[in-house]
Amino acid sequence: MQQATTAAITETAIVSLMKNYANYNFWANKTLVNWLRTKPQNLLEQEMPSSFSSIKKTISHILECQQYWLSIIQKNEATFEGIGGSLDEVLDTFVKQSEEFAAFVDTMTAEEVTNPTLITSQWFQCDFANFEYIMQVMNHSTYHRGQITSIGRQLGFTDAPMTDYNFYNIHGKA
């Protein structure tokens, strides 16, 4: 009986963490975009040495990956397509998609969060629990938000917002 209770508590904790982390990702992405909107648009598209050569291209990449993983978790056909459009369109879509991702995770049951999903793609094959994929997305976004801050620093932006997970838990939650 104790083993079943411990498993249920662990499952509840994982579900709660995934929902909180998806909401954190939405908050952090929105916070980043609100900051970027205060900067000259031409600088957000300026080529810089990085894994993606501009802030706009880095955001487009995060967005593409979020869309890909959300389609996997939703059990839809997964596509990895380029994101085009103006800077404003990319920023708007990025925030909306981050919100959509968080909203979907908020609706997931414990079973849906912990069930495995088989992925067979041109890049890899795996069969992990959905919470592993959710964590992949959130960590990937965090990694690239750091790159955006670094690119911004190279462009002279010295006022990047705090988007750490602990800061969100203390100050960012509604």
Predicted local confidence at residue 28, as pLDDT: 98
Exposed, middle or buried, 158 (CB in 10 Å: 0-12/13-18/19+)?
exposed
Q: What is the mean pLDDT of the chain?
A: 91
List domains and CATH numbers for the chain. 2-172 (1.20.120.450)
Please indicate, yes or no, whether the overall pTM of this predicted structure exceeds 0.85.
yes
Percentages of the chain per state (helix, strand, coil), in multiples of 5: 65, 5, 25
Which pLDDT tens digit goes with each residue over 40-87? 999 999 988 777 889 999 999 999 999 999 999 999 887 766 677 899
Sorted by sequence, the CB contacts under 8 Å of residue 174 that are 6+ apart come out as none
